[in-house]
Amino acid sequence: MAASAATYKERQFLAVIGDEDSVTGLLLAGIGHVTEPPESQRNFLVVDSKTETSEIERAFQNFTQERKDIAVLLINQHIAERIRHSVDTFADPFPAVLEIPSKDHPYDPEKDSVLKRVRRLFGE
Amino acid sequence: MSGAVGREAVFPTRQSLGLMKNKLKGAEIGHSLLKRKSEALTKRFRDITRRIDEAKQKMGRVMQIAAFSLAEVSYAVGGDIGYQIQESAKQARFRVRAKQENVSGVLLPTFESYTQEGVNDFGLTGLGKGGQQIQRCRETYARAVETLVELASLQTAFLILDEVIKVVNRRVNAIEHVIIPRTENTIKYINSELDELDREEFYRLKKVSGKKQRDVAAADAEILAARQKKAEEQAANPKVPDATAIFVQEEEATDVLGEQEDNDVIF
């Protein structure tokens, strides 16, 4: 897979799908970006218990497929669980999908799609 | 698999034998090069997987600390600042830049984080109270995000390397199990075919020379018989030697023309 320069030279933002606390914290770090007014796309999505799975799915597709300026997509692990299928089937190198722990849900390496692949490669 | 390699469709000539030998040599060189490449990549790959494992552990810790500092913030501010922050986020201050790293001909991108100067969406956040905590929280989260970016580049490298290693190994196996056996088969086929031709040629030559020998022997025998006959006739009837001589010479002349011509003085 030849990752040509054009595919990732434009990518300079991080995106988040997470619960309110994670998103707040990451926004404080300064990763939040809203595109120019006509579309005004945010690069973060706050998910709470009332958020529909289809909405998460749509945001995930948007960040991974449609937007070409996102280099890394951070997603809370418990949210990734809800759209596990999409996360597991997404295998492109860009953007890098990273599962992060949240405050209420400690990190479980067993569920991480990349770590699962690592484990499988070493036959564990 | 090795049973079905077959051979290439070539004419069994010396030229194509030379071509095949060159091809075999090329395939062997390519095989060893690819093998080495695959080994170098695998080494790098193992290194990366180990680092991913470590980085994931580290991320767990860092995020915990960050979450704690955020809890401090909400305690200090005394309310939820999430909404305010989400609304005031306009321009990304924290960005990443992709660079390339070359590992035996494979370009691995690595992300490098940088902060866009002069962008601060949260200038007024925590103005009332808790400003210090917010400042600290921002720093903590910035560090956490740096760890995340590092992890992301490792992960990207992991995915790309995984793919590349698969491709390289497939090529190595294809050369090892298909191309080399097939070329060897072809060489064997050409060789056997050439040998066959050689044998055929040899046999043909032998046949031809055998036939020639037989002809010569038959001719010799005839001459010999003719001479004997002449000798006998001369012995039996020595009075008329000339007539028989003419007759014999005529006989001989029909058989072996050149040698006997000089004896035709009688005419």
* pLDDT, tens digit (0-9, with 9 covering 90-100), for A3-18: 455 566 677 788 888 8
Task: Give the distance from residue B14's alpha carbon to the nearest chain A alpha carbon, in angstroms.
Answer: 41
With CA atoms as reference, the chain A residue closest to B70 would be A25
DSSP secondary structure, A41-55, as one string? -BSEEE--TTS-HHH
Dihedral sign computed on CA atoms, order B118, B119, B125, B126: negative
Contact B96 A72 (CB under 8 A): yes
Q: Give the list of residues 6+ apart from residue B33 with CB closer than 8 angstroms, or none.
A: none
Q: Residues, chain B, total? A: 267
Catalogue the long-range contacts made by B49-53 (C-beta closer than 8 Å, 24 or more residues apart).
Answer: B49/A118, B49/A121, B49/A122, B49/B158, B51/B154, B52/A114, B52/A115, B52/A118, B52/B151, B52/B154, B52/B155, B52/B158, B53/A115, B53/A118
Residues in chain A within 8 Å Cβ distance of B59 = 100-101, 107
Task: Give yes or no for a contact between A8 and A71, defined as CB atoms under 8 angstroms apart.
Answer: yes
Evaluate if residue B244 carries a pLDDT over 80: no
Backbone angles phi, psi at A35, to 5 degrees: -75, 170
Evaluate if residue B54 carries a pLDDT over 90: no
Out of B115, B152, B160, name the one closest to residue A1 (CB). B160
B86 touches chain A (CB under 8 A): yes
Contact B156 A115 (CB under 8 A): no
With CA atoms as reference, the chain A residue closest to B53 would be A115
Of the candidates B166, B247, B197, which has an alpha carbon nearest to the alpha carbon of residue A91?
B166
CA distance B13 to B191: 9
Of the candidates A121, A75, A79, which has an alpha carbon nearest to the alpha carbon of residue B159?
A121
Q: What is the pLDDT of residues A63-73, one digit of tens each?
A: 888 888 888 88
To the nearest whole percent, how much of chain B has pLDDT over 90? 34
Mean pLDDT rounded to a whole number for chain B: 82
pTM attached to this predicted model: 0.70
Task: Give yes or no for a contact between B153 and B110, defined as CB atoms under 8 angstroms apart.
Answer: yes
Contact B92 A74 (CB under 8 A): no
Q: Which two tokens stand for residue A54?
A: 């289809």
Contact B92 A25 (CB under 8 A): no
Contact B86 A24 (CB under 8 A): yes
For testing the chain B interface, which of A4, A20, A24, A28 should be mutated: the one with the most B CBs within 10 Å? A28
A30: left (phi over 0), alpha (psi -120 to 50) or beta: left
Contact A21 B56 (CB under 8 A): no
Q: What is the pLDDT of residues B113-165, one digit of tens each?
A: 887 776 666 666 666 666 777 888 888 888 888 888 888 888 888 888 888 88
Residues in chain A within 8 Å Cβ distance of B111 = 71-72, 96
Q: What is the pLDDT of residue B264?
A: 56
Dihedral sign computed on CA atoms, order B115, B119, B120, B121: negative
ipTM: 0.81
Contact B164 A109 (CB under 8 A): no
Of the candidates A118, A103, A110, A119, which has an alpha carbon nearest to the alpha carbon of residue A19?
A103
